[in-house]
C-alpha cells in the first residue's frame, strides 16, 4: 500500500476523495497529494483536481472533478443526458460550459457559453444541463434520437424543449434544432414514430393522437398512433422491436388486449416506412374509410 509522508494514499482518498481538490485540503494532505501524484497513485484531470489512477477513465468521477474544480461550471450534452434521462447516451468527451479561460483537461471540451439558470440543475452534487437543454443541444449532431428519448422518458415535455431552444438564441445549429422540434410537435418516442408522424402530416391526415393512453383491465397501454373515434390503433415497430425480444413479446400482449377491448390494430415496420411509405398510408386510409 502506498504511503506518502506518513499518510497512506488510500487514507487520503477515503478521507477526502475519490475526487481530490488541492485547494480544499490542509497543508499535510496537500503534500500527501503531491507525492501521490508523483508516484502515479492519483491522476490530475483538471487544474488542482485529481482522481485515483484507477478512476481516471471513469465518467462519473470525471464529472465530479468538474464540480470540485469549478462548482459554477455546467456539464452539458451527452454527459448530462447520461445521468438524467438517457443511460446509454454516447459520451466521447464531457462538454462543460464555463465563461472563464478553458483549462487543459484530456477528455473534456469547454464552451464559453452562458446557461440560463432555469436550465441548469443540481443533481447528485453535479451542476448539469436540464434534460430539455441536453436533448436540444444533442439534436444538432444526433438528429431526433435525443428528442425522442427525452420525450419517451417523460423527463421533459415538448414545450420544455422549445423553451430551452428559445432561451439560448444565436447558437450554431439552432436552425436544424428548430426544424427537429417542429417535426416533434406530436411527441414521437422513436425514430420510427417520427417517420410515421411525418407521413401522416405529408398526406394531411388528421384526427389522430400520438402515444395515446388507454387503460384495459387495470393495465395502462400507450398506442403509438390512435384514431380514437375510429378505434383504430396504428403500431410502429421500430428497430428496438427487432433487437429486443422482450419488447416483441410485450407488444403482442398489448395488441391482444387492444383487440379484445374493441380496437382494430395495424402494424408497420421501420422498413415499411422507409421503403414502402405508399403502402403504409394507403392501408391506413383504406381502414379509416372502411370504418366510416
Which sequence spans correspond to the domains of the chain?
A: 3-55, 70-183, 191-291
Q: Is the pLDDT of residue 203 over 50?
A: yes
Q: Is the pLDDT of residue 1 over 70?
A: no
Q: What is the DSSP letter of 102?
A: P
Confidence class of residue 242 from pLDDT cuts 50, 70 and 90?
low
Q: Dig out the grid coordinates for 88 from the structure.
A: 446509454
Q: What is the average per-residue pLDDT within 70-98? A: 95
Q: Which CATH number fits domain 3-55: 1.10.3470, 2.60.40, 1.25.40, 1.10.10?
A: 1.10.10
Q: Dig out the grid coordinates for 207 from the structure.
A: 384526427
What value does the mean pLDDT of the chain take?
Answer: 90
Q: H or E element: which one contains 213?
A: strand 209-216
CATH number of 191-291: 3.40.960.10
Contact 110, 98 (CB under 8 A): yes
Which residue is associated with the grid cell 501524484? 37
Name the phi and psi angles at 195, rounded to 5: -65, -40
Nearest of 290, 288, 292, 291 to residue 205 by alpha carbon? 288
d(CA 39, CA 73): 30
- Tens of pLDDT, residues 153-198: 999 999 999 999 999 999 999 999 999 999 898 888 888 999 999 9
d(CA 170, CA 225): 35
Q: Dig out the grid coordinates for 46 from the structure.
A: 483538471
SS3 134: helix
Q: Tell me the H-state helices in the chain.
A: 9-16, 27-38, 59-69, 77-84, 131-142, 145-153, 158-166, 174-183, 191-202, 239-243, 245-260, 270-275, 277-291
Give the whole-number percent of the chain exceeding pLDDT 70: 92
Confidence class of residue 251 from pLDDT cuts 50, 70 and 90?
confident
Q: Is the pLDDT of residue 282 over 70?
A: yes
* Distances, alpha carbon 212 to alpha carbons 54, 162, 226, in Å: 47, 22, 6
pLDDT score at 6: 40
- Tens of pLDDT, residues 253-262: 889 999 999 9
Whats the size of the chain, residue-wise?
292
Name the phi and psi angles at 171, rounded to 5: -90, 145
Amino acid at each position: 500500500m502506498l504511503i506518502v509522508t506518513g499518510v497512506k494514499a488510500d487514507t487520503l482518498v477515503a478521507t477526502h476523495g475519490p475526487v481530490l481538490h488541492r485547494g480544499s485540503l490542509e497543508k499535510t494532505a496537500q503534500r500527501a497529494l503531491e507525492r501521490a501524484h508523483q508516484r502515479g497513485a492519483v491522476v490530475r484531470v483538471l487544474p488542482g483536481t485529481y482522481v485515483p489512477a484507477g478512476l481516471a477513465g471513469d465518467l462519473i468521477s470525471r464529472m465530479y472533478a468538474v464540480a470540485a474544480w469549478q462548482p459554477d461550471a455546467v456539464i452539458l450534452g451527452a454527459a448530462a443526458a447520461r445521468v438524467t434521462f438517457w443511460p446509454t447516451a454516447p459520451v466521447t468527451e464531457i462538454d462543460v460550459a464555463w465563461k472563464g479561460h478553458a483549462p487543459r483537461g484530456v477528455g473534456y471540451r469547454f464552451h464559453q457559453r452562458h446557461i440560463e439558470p432555469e436550465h441548469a440543475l443540481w443533481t447528485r452534487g453535479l451542476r448539469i444541463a436540464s434534460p430539455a437543454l441536453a436533448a436540444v443541444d444533442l439534436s444538432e449532431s444526433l438528429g431526433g434520437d435525443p428528442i425522442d428519448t427525452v420525450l419517451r422518458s417523460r423527463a421533459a415535455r415538448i414545450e420544455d424543449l422549445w423553451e430551452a431552444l428559445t432561451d439560448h438564441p444565436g447558437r450554431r445549429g439552432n436552425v436544424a434544432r428548430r426544424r427537429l422540434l417542429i417535426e416533434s410537435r406530436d411527441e414521437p418516442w422513436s425514430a420510427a414514430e417520427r417517420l410515421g408522424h411525418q407521413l401522416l402530416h405529408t398526406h394531411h391526415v388528421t384526427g389522430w393522437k400520438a402515444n395515446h393512453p388507454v387503460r384495459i383491465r387495470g393495465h395502462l397501454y400507450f398506442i403509438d398512433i390512435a384514431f380514437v373515434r375510429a378505434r383504430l390503433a396504428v403500431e410502429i415497430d421500430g428497430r428496438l422491436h427487432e433487437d429486443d425480444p422482450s419488447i416483441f413479446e410485450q407488444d403482442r400482449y398489448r395488441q391482444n388486449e387492444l383487440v379484445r377491448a374493441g380496437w382494430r390494430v395495424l402494424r408497420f415496420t421501420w422498413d415499411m416506412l422507409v421503403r414502402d411509405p405508399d403502402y403504409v398510408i394507403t392501408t391506413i386510409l383504406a381502414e379509416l374509410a372502411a370504418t366510416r
